Amino acid sequence: MTNWTRFRLGYVAMSVNVKNCSPSQTMTYKRFQQLDDKEAAVSRLERIARSNLHNCLRLLKHNNAHDIKFFRLSSRLVPLATHEALNGWNYMQAIRNDLRALGDFARKHTMRLDFHPDHFVVLNSPKESVFNGSVKNLLHHVQLVDGMGIDLTHRSVLHVGGTYKNKPKAIEQFISNWSYVPDDVQRMLMIENDDKSFNLQDCLYLGEKLGIPVVFDYHHHLANHEDPDWTSHWNRVVNSWRNSPHPLKMHISSPKNEQAFRSHADLVDSDMFMRFLKEVNGSVAEMDCMIEAKQKDGALFQLMQDLKGRDDIEMVDEASFYVKT
């Protein structure tokens, strides 16, 4: 146990404060097919990807100005990157310089960057085609991380996948499939408890068996749990990070309302967050808390404003703080 934990806030992919700065501009495959000149169509995809990366760099500069050192990158930086019809497309050559600039800035300012691949990326699928497609998508993320020139270890959060009407079998399928996952992908991944299927204890079982850090999502736990007392399992969460170069990571969001409990609210309820913080304070030296709220960086700024008014909070900078004991 340490005396106090330094808590550091981050947010997801986009800003509500920086205008015209989407990192997820795209082109559908239908639109791609409609373009007669395929070389020109590929060039347009590459321009969109470079624009997305340019916007990411703008976001990192915005973050740095507000002491935000933790950020989730969009997984849609390169439109159609893994589409089977574009096999052989060397998009990495087209975005190499922009990607490296992103990594250089993050390294210079000691920022933690990661990804959260889309919901269709599932490693426990019993269907070989779905599994192979998921691995292909994750290898794309490996290329992006490598292209930034940053350490690959624990850069992508993943849910366990589907239950396929038999959760114990689905968990064992994840273990069985794991042996076919390339080493670089294995090294890149973290797993997170979800709000419907795989709870904290499921993830801890997999994390301990396979050596994967467990990202604790507090909101998801409230929506989906086997044991409501998550604190009795907290030491296991902490232990899952013992071999990681990064601080323990968790996700924080608030329910939209009682009727739509699983949906994310615009902002984070500071009282709800404080209940979590007081339980874990001192269990680790540092903890990175990813805000998953509709208002993105706006939610981060509002949460910091809410916390500043409390006697039991000691601010470090605009995006990190200690909880006084």
Task: Give domain status of residue 94, yes or no.
Answer: yes
Query: In 3D, which of 68, 48, 58, 46 has the Cα closest to residue 21?
Result: 58
pLDDT above 90 coverage of the chain, percent: 96
pLDDT band at 275 (very low <50, low <70, confident <90, very high): very high
pLDDT band at 36 (very low <50, low <70, confident <90, very high): confident
Q: Which domain holds residue 161?
A: 7-241
Query: If you write DSSP's letter for every residue of 223-280 in order, what string do you get?
Result: HS-SSS-GGGGHHHHHHHTTT-SS-EEEEE--BS-STTTTSBPSS--HHHHHHHHHHH
Task: Give domain status of residue 295, yes or no.
Answer: no
Across the chain, what does the average pLDDT equal?
Answer: 97
In the block, which residue shows the tokens 């989906």? 224
Q: Contacts from 89-98 at CB under 8 Å and sequence distance 24+?
A: 89/42, 89/45, 91/45, 91/46, 91/49, 92/143, 92/147, 94/46, 94/49, 94/50, 95/46, 95/49, 95/50, 95/53, 95/147, 96/147, 98/49, 98/50, 98/53, 98/54, 98/57
- β partners of residue 143: none
Per-residue pLDDT of 225-263, as tens digits, reads 999 999 999 999 999 999 999 999 999 999 999 999 999
H or E segment at 11?
A: strand 6-12
Task: Give domain status of residue 253, yes or no.
Answer: no
Given a cut of 60, whether residue 278 has pLDDT beyond it is yes
Given a cut of 80, whether residue 78 has pLDDT beyond it is yes
Per-residue pLDDT of 149-200, as tens digits, reads 999 999 999 999 999 999 999 999 999 999 999 999 999 999 999 999 999 9
Task: Give domain status of residue 276, yes or no.
Answer: no
Task: Give domain status of residue 280, yes or no.
Answer: no
CATH number at residue 66: 3.20.20.150
pLDDT, residue 2, reads 58
pLDDT, residue 3, reads 86
pLDDT band at 219 (very low <50, low <70, confident <90, very high): very high
Given a cut of 80, whether residue 218 has pLDDT beyond it is yes
Task: Give domain status of residue 292, yes or no.
Answer: no
Per the structure, the count of domains in the chain is 1
Given a cut of 80, whether residue 1 has pLDDT beyond it is no
Per-residue pLDDT of 85-113, as tens digits, reads 999 999 999 999 999 999 999 999 999 99
pLDDT, residue 309, reads 86
If one counts every other C-beta atom within 10 angstroms of the C-beta of residue 167, the result is 15
Task: Give domain status of residue 34, yes or no.
Answer: yes
Query: Looking at the whole model, is its pTM more than 0.75?
Result: yes
Task: Give domain status of residue 304, yes or no.
Answer: no
- pLDDT mean over 280-299: 98
